[in-house]
Structure 1
Amino acid sequence: MKYEIDELDRAMIKLLSGDGRMSFTELSSRLNVTEKTVRARYKNLIENDILSVVGVVNPIALGLKAEAIIQMKIQSGMLQTAIEELKNIREIRFITMTSGDYPLLAQITVQNQDEITNILYKLDQIPCIKEYKSMIQLQVYKNTFEYI
């Protein structure tokens, strides 16, 4: 049976999106429900892969100041192979399938422009990638994990 989220679940997710370390006591107080209810809902959200609570790293604090988005054209019949190859490149932090001429898009976060160039050299060595175009991210104005 599929778990259906309701308004209480949504409210919990919204609060935890803003502060993933918020205590069950604080959550129950803000939501006007018992702590037992919050614990049970939290457990259900985790067990049903609706919610994951993780630490979000500020890449700039780690010295990762250069980002790029790379769109890729892939040889016919090789999409899954390309995805698996891309997953093995540590600097790629996001891969998605898209519509249009470039069916794969990846985002990289690295220390500097030279490392972006090195990633492009790596992509050039993957035979199933026919073509790629890169866009250097100059400034990020919004990066949120709030979906509700």
Structure 2
Amino acid sequence: MNTTLAPQAAPTELLDALDRQLVHALALDGRASFSRLAAVLGVTDQTVVRRYRRLHGERLLRVIGLPFSDRVGISESWLRIQCAPGAAMPIADALARRPDIGWVKIQSGGSEVACVVRSYSADERDALLLQKLPRTQHVTGVTAQSLLHTYTTTTGQQWMDDSGLTEEQTRALARPCPDPGEETRLDAADQAMLAVLARDGRTGYPELARAAGRSESTVRRRLEHLRDTGAIYFDVEILPEHFGLTVQAALFATVAPHNLAEAGEALSRHPEIPWLAAATGTTNLVGSVVCRDRGALYTYVTERIGALRTVQQLEVVPVLRHVKRAGLLTDGSRLFEPPGH
């Protein structure tokens, strides 16, 4: 199913100032209660409920709960799949329907599909890379890079900084960053709960309890524990266009190994970079870039990235279309696409 925004309005016209503040607030704490959101934003509970229901009901926004792969034993690989002319869309659609695939994009002039594959074992990953993809008709080449370390978790909080939230409001909603700890093993009940949260991160505790087969109090405690230890996090899926960011690209950078952490930390602090990870291969930093327009992208590449002497080589590849976004266990439908996509 191809879900599009209402054709009568451009994406940047759909959110007013309060909508943007609410989106930013949810990016800071996706499960904050409506009453808490209302108190921080200085409006009534009914206003927040009405705004959220409109944004969610019109498929402009979705809160999702996802496992943080580095901390729950999930291995991730970044794939660049070269396709024969005209084959990118069917291949991207097929990949988007897989529950282990996220961030499916068509880029590089429409001849390349990029995605992230997540797996709990090498066998799961290898079945896709060594058997299924190589035998797929019209796939002419596959490049796979294992993701070693993610420098960012939530996507978009930095480029939402111009939403109008004050520093005091941001502090009131922001959760403390969890300290790195031991790997958390997710059991079957956790997996069932996450399957629901990946579709709607604001699902109530009664439904989560039914899915997990646990009591509401147990689910509440378990969810807070998983959040506090950094095993799972909550993110907001929304088109960057709603914040005036019309150009998206993939970034591939080469950095000397001894400079990798320094460069990764520096880039991850840039508001133009919603996601960044260290990876195997020659281009050992991979990420996403969002900018207001092509001129802003040029300025960012030449001035901001250009000022980082640790970056030796850089490839910036335009993203033509998002077929699937972050959700790990989504239904694979193309959510939140602007008109004409």
Spell out, residue by residue over 1:8-45, the C-alpha distance to the aligned partner (whole angstroms, 9 max, x if none). 11111111112111111111111111112111111111
Other-structure match for 1:81: 90
Distance 1:49 1:90 in 2: 20
Bigger drift between 52-61 and 103-112 goes to 52-61
- Give the secondary structure class of the aligned counterpart of 1:118: helix
The equivalences for 1:1-148 within 5 A come to 1-2=8-9, 4-60=14-70, 62-64=72-74, 66-99=75-108, 103-121=112-130, 122-147=132-157, 148=160
- Give the secondary structure class of the aligned counterpart of 1:125: coil
Distance 1:84 1:36 in 2: 39
Q: Is the Cα–Cα contact under 8 Å of residues 88 and 106 in structure 2 kept in the other structure? A: no
Unaligned runs of 5+ in 2: 1-7, 161-341
Provide closer, same or farther for how the CA distance between residues 87 and 53 of structure 1 changes in structure 2, counting only shifts above 3 A. closer
Provide closer, same or farther for how the CA distance between residues 119 and 53 of structure 1 changes in structure 2, counting only shifts above 3 A. same
Distance 1:146 1:16 in 2: 11
Cα offset, 1:118, TM superposition: 2.3
Cα offset, 1:91, TM superposition: 2.3
Distance 2:21 2:48 in 1: 11
Distance 2:98 2:66 in 1: 20
Provide closer, same or farther for how the CA distance between residues 82 and 28 of structure 1 changes in structure 2, counting only shifts above 3 A. same
TM-score normalised by L of structure 2: 0.40
Bigger drift between 6-15 and 74-83 goes to 74-83
TM-score normalised by L of structure 1: 0.85
Cα offset, 1:114, TM superposition: 4.4
Spell out, residue by residue over 1:88-122, the C-alpha distance to the aligned partner (whole angstroms, 9 max, x if none). 44422221011258521011111244443322122
- Give the secondary structure class of the aligned counterpart of 1:10: helix
Unaligned runs of 5+ in 1: none
- Give the secondary structure class of the aligned counterpart of 2:154: coil
- Give the secondary structure class of the aligned counterpart of 1:124: coil
Bigger drift between 82-91 and 66-75 goes to 82-91
4+ residue runs over 6 A deviation:
none
Equivalenced residues, count: 147
Q: Is the Cα–Cα contact under 8 Å of residues 86 and 111 in structure 2 kept in the other structure? A: no
Distance 1:89 1:53 in 2: 20
Spell out, residue by residue over 1:37-68, the C-alpha distance to the aligned partner (whole angstroms, 9 max, x if none). 1111111111221211232223355431x211
Distance 1:46 1:4 in 2: 12
Q: Is the Cα–Cα contact under 8 Å of residues 18 and 146 in structure 1 kept in the other structure? A: no
Aligned residue type for 1:34? T
**What percentage of residue pairs aligned between the two structures are identical?**
25
Aligned residue type for 2:61? L
Aligned-pair Cα RMSD in Å:
2.2
Provide closer, same or farther for how the CA distance between residues 22 and 59 of structure 1 changes in structure 2, counting only shifts above 3 A. same
Cα offset, 1:138, TM superposition: 1.3
Q: Is the Cα–Cα contact under 8 Å of residues 70 and 150 in structure 2 kept in the other structure? A: no
Q: Is the Cα–Cα contact under 8 Å of residues 96 and 104 in structure 1 kept in the other structure? A: yes
